[in-house]
Amino acid sequence: MEEEFELEDKTTNFDFKGFIFKILSYWYLVIVCVLIGLGIAYYINVRKLPVYKIGSMITVKDDSNPLFTANTSLTFNYGGVSDKVSTVVTTLSTRTHNEKVVKKLRSYIDYKKDGEYQRVNAYDEVPFFFFDDTLKYQAKGIPFQIRVIDSNQFEFKVEFKDLDKAQKAVNLIKYSTLESKRKMLPNQVYKQVFQFSDTINTPFFKGRVLLNGNPINFNKPYYVQFKSFFSTVKRYQNIDIRTESKGSSIINLSLTGQNKAELVDYLNTTVKVLSQDALERKNLFATKTIRFVDSILTEKSKELSDVERELNQFKIENDIIDLTEESANLKSKLREYDNEIIALERQLDYYDDLETYLVKRTDYSNLPAPSVAGIEESSISEAVGKIVELSLKRGSYSYGLKSKMPNFADIDRNIDALKRVILENLSSSRNLLRKQRRDLQTKIAQIEAEVRELPKDQQELLKIERRFQISQNTYTIFLQKRNEASLIKAANVSDIKIIDEAKDTGGGKIGPNTQLNYVMAILLGSLIPLVFVFIIVLLDNKISNPTDIEKLSQIPVIGLIGKSTLDSNLAVLSKPRSSISESFRGIRASLQFLYKQQKSSDQTTKTTLVTSSVSGEGKTFTAINLASVFALSGKKTILVGLDLRKPKIFDDFNLTNDTGVVNYLIGQKSLDEVIQQTDFDNFDLLVSGPVPPNPSELLMGETMDAFIDELKKRYDHIVLDTPPIGLVSDAVNLFKYSDANLYLVRQNYTKNGMLGLINEKYQKGEVSNISFVLNYFEHKAKYGYGYGYGYGYGYGYGGYGYGRYGNGYHELEKTYSWRKKIKRKIKKRLRKLFK
């Protein structure tokens, strides 16, 4: 029956078992990587500066002044508690607020000292105050070294290390106005001794250094450096702000940094500045009232003095002491009506000014207080207060963090709605006031008619006293308003109250997380070898075990040959009881099984062909040792070197390659003349001979048929060492002479794609009776399998095992240390080089 050759589709699956064994085989790499990682983690941990977190707690209350509930229009109330909390949270992260705090604390000055591995933050640890003249330019980014010599003097030193040329510009900044410029400074070291009372005036710094009472470490250098103002502000804008719960008036503040004293000062100062600003906003109307009334009082005081002087002068010149009773009565009525009409005029003027202000301006934060004009209409007073509140809130939010910004469109819509309400109320209120003014003017006109009937001097005196009274009443009213505003301002308290101020209680350290660094070091140290092994497995396209061959081809594996540690290829003849010798005996047994299945089983002579994909896969080594086991079994054996292009086998037997197969095929020598005897029984050698110009033609000629037939008459076993099938076609022409073909695959040398050619020929039927032999095989765990050297694979995967029951069946192979292995390899290479 004709045998059909079909290769089923071989799907390559990831070998998890092999991958796990490879990982285990690189245990030393895992340990090394973990140790390196732990070393790096330790190096980082000991050099990382500690990080602290300090917090404080405040509350926002709606504290009003109970003594002045009737004058709330003079107190700026910017909404309920919830709205105040939202305003405070946003304000704390605004640029404007933090600029105030940074300037107040001079946080743009960086203090450092020498630490164990680097310079560390020395805020509140330096023994001096460093005062910069904020009106003068200071060098930014250049460290100033200050070393206290004694209690009276210190050394001031600056090294311009980064100036790479004769001169280079230095950045200068004036912190009062935040103006900056560049200035050329000489590339040199500045060093001078100053008294603590001296004023330092250099091109790069202007200011003073004073002792602050901290313990002095004489001759120890401290470093002071001016930082970027806006970078400092931006850092503190990231303050952590959290409310206790939704709708709660309690706010928790926290900051992280490397110096607890610096964090404590900043948190407490930011609350103080916030509290002061909140109080100023709360007293906004009262403050504006005082400022406005002060200007009116100055004017009215001058006017009152002028009228009083005129009155006294008139009395002296006309020898009049006082008004008559009739004139006094008229004066009393006129004073009453004048006061009322003055109040109305003041309210009407305020309404006119308010309308003009609302229509022509967009910033309403400076709207005058309604109470100044005596307006007690709640709708107008409340609306004006809310407009001022919204306007100030919009302005304060302009420099806040975008993530905490409110919707400006909503604020603008609320302002516009309040403007419409005020303008509508103004129209009706003014009409009512004007009607009242007309009624009062009618009454005044009637009284003035009665006055004209009085004597001339009484009329004139009445007019002057009337003007005097009006000025005096106006002055008194405004003076009363100023006193009220001052009392309100003095009695008001801030809505911001400190519950728990920031304080260094000895804890607060939150970093660095050294344990996490060590854990990460262990994880990364373990992960890197895993990735390394995975990449090796992923990119590895070489055959490493029998399973790889089984996945790539249906050609069976007949045996495994271990790695030889001998210097020569005579492994079987040198050590007959070694594990490698047992491997070849296993292959011999499998070949016997194979021969019995062949049609030529009646023949006495068996021919075995040995080939491979490329050179270096152990083809010659296998041919020599396979012939050796045949010879040791008492069979007359000949090893024929048919690799005419690259002859090798003669060297191991200390023979020459002067005459051989080529000489016979071209008719120069007879068969007896080319066959060489070896030092071993039943083992002859026929080398290839000189390299011919036409090796393929020689192997394909009729002489080759006669050559093989003659050898079969003389020997029981013929082993043919042929060229690699992947390089030349010589071996293909020789398949017709062989009863069994061994195809060598070398572990971690032969690539997967190299089996494609032999698979194709096997599938087409061009090659038969072929089996794979896995050479140079090591059963280390990194290959994922534990095959021993002495295990033989039978044809059709029937196996014969040798050497698996102890050391009594074969000699233990001598193991060498890695140093000796290196020496042996060097010696082997040198022998080949000089041979």
Determine the Cα–Cα distance for residues 800 and 583; give it in Å rounded to an integer: 10
pLDDT band, residue 144 (cuts 50/70/90) = very high
pLDDT at 745: 94
Place of tokens 């307006």: 375
Once rounded to an integer, what is the mean pLDDT over residues 800-816? 44
> Which of 203-217, 273-287, 352-366, 813-827 has the least mean pLDDT?
813-827
pLDDT at 653: 87
pLDDT at 835: 52
Give residue-wise pLDDT tens across range 295-354: 878 887 888 788 778 777 776 777 666 666 666 777 677 777 777 777 777 778 777 777
Residue 787 has pLDDT above 60, yes or no: no
pLDDT band, residue 256 (cuts 50/70/90) = very high
Determine the Cα–Cα distance for residues 352 and 437; give it in Å rounded to an integer: 15
Which of 816, 802, 748 lies closest to 777 in space, CA to CA?
748
pLDDT at 686: 93
pLDDT at 799: 38
Structure tokens, 458? 């009484």
What CA–CA distances, in Å, run from 627 to 284, 604, 756? 112, 16, 28
Alpha helix (H) residue ranges in 237-318: 260-282, 284-318
* Most confident segment among 396-410, 461-475, 666-680: 666-680
Once rounded to an integer, what is the mean pLDDT over residues 576-601? 83
182 neighbors 170 (Cβ within 8 angstroms): yes
146 neighbors 222 (Cβ within 8 angstroms): yes
Reported residue count of the chain is 835
788 neighbors 583 (Cβ within 8 angstroms): no
Residues with Cβ within 8 Å of residue 82, at least 6 apart in sequence: 247, 249
pLDDT at 537: 76
Average pLDDT, the chain: 80
pLDDT band, residue 579 (cuts 50/70/90) = confident
* Most confident segment among 76-80, 621-625, 827-831: 621-625
Determine the Cα–Cα distance for residues 514 and 498; give it in Å rounded to an integer: 35
pLDDT at 825: 66
372 neighbors 382 (Cβ within 8 angstroms): no
Whole-number percent of the chain with pLDDT over 70:
80
Determine the Cα–Cα distance for residues 808 and 18; give it in Å rounded to an integer: 31
DSSP string covering 360-411: H-S--TTPPPGGGGT---HHHHHHHHHHHHHHHHHHHHTTS-GGG---HHHH
Residue 628 has pLDDT above 80, yes or no: yes
Which has more pLDDT, 300 or 561?
561
Q: Any idea where the domains of the chain sit in the sequence?
A: 16-48+512-539, 53-70+84-280, 284-491, 546-834
Burial call 119-142: b when 16+ CB within 10 Å, e when fewer: bbbbbebbbbebebbeeebbbbeb
Angle between helices 95-105 and 260-282 in degrees, nearest 10: 120
pLDDT band, residue 817 (cuts 50/70/90) = low
Partnered with residue 207 across adjacent β-strands are: 132, 200
Q: What angle do CA 592, 593, 595 make, to 5 degrees?
A: 60
pLDDT band, residue 816 (cuts 50/70/90) = low
Q: Taking phi first (over 0 means left), then psi (-120 to 50 degrees means alpha), and beta for anything else, what does residue 734 get? A: alpha
How far from chain centre, in Å, is Cα 505? Answer: 32
Residue 63 has pLDDT above 80, yes or no: no
Place of tokens 């095992």: 801
Once rounded to an integer, what is the mean pLDDT over residues 806-830? 58
pLDDT band, residue 563 (cuts 50/70/90) = confident
Give residue-wise pLDDT tens across range 210-239: 999 899 888 899 999 999 999 999 999 989
Which has more pLDDT, 87 or 591?
591
Give residue-wise pLDDT tens across range 423-449: 777 777 888 888 888 888 887 787 777
Angle between helices 456-491 and 284-318 in degrees, nearest 10: 160
Q: What angle do CA 741, 747, 748 make, to 5 degrees?
A: 135
User: What's domain 546-834's architecture?
Assistant: 3-Layer(aba) Sandwich (3.40)
pLDDT band, residue 401 (cuts 50/70/90) = very low
pLDDT band, residue 733 (cuts 50/70/90) = confident
Give residue-wise pLDDT tens across range 685-719: 999 999 888 888 888 888 888 999 999 999 999 99
Which of 748, 529, 536, 781 lies closest to 24 in space, CA to CA?
781
Structure tokens, 467? 């003007």
pLDDT at 796: 38
Determine the Cα–Cα distance for residues 783 and 777; give it in Å rounded to an integer: 10
pLDDT band, residue 500 (cuts 50/70/90) = very high
Residue 228: how many CA atoms within 13 Å on its side-chain side? 5
Q: What is the DSSP letter of 228?
A: P
Determine the Cα–Cα distance for residues 535 and 517; give it in Å rounded to an integer: 26
Partnered with residue 718 across adjacent β-strands are: 607, 638
Once rounded to an integer, what is the mean pLDDT over residues 812-830? 62
The three state secondary structure string of 309-372 is HHHHHHHHHHCCCCCCHHHHHHHHHHHHHHHHHHHHHHHHHHHHHHHHHHHHCCCCCCCCCHHH
Burial call 272-282: b when 16+ CB within 10 Å, e when fewer: bbbbebbbebb
pLDDT band, residue 603 (cuts 50/70/90) = low
Determine the Cα–Cα distance for residues 223 and 215; give it in Å rounded to an integer: 16
Which of 813, 820, 306 lies closest to 562 in space, CA to CA?
813
Residue 9 has pLDDT above 50, yes or no: no
Residue 283 has pLDDT above 50, yes or no: yes
Structure tokens, 310? 């005129």
Residue 807 has pLDDT above 70, yes or no: no
Structure tokens, 351? 């309404």
pLDDT band, residue 121 (cuts 50/70/90) = very high
Residues with Cβ within 8 Å of residue 126, at least 6 apart in sequence: 111, 113, 146, 212, 214, 222, 224
Place of tokens 């009512």: 432
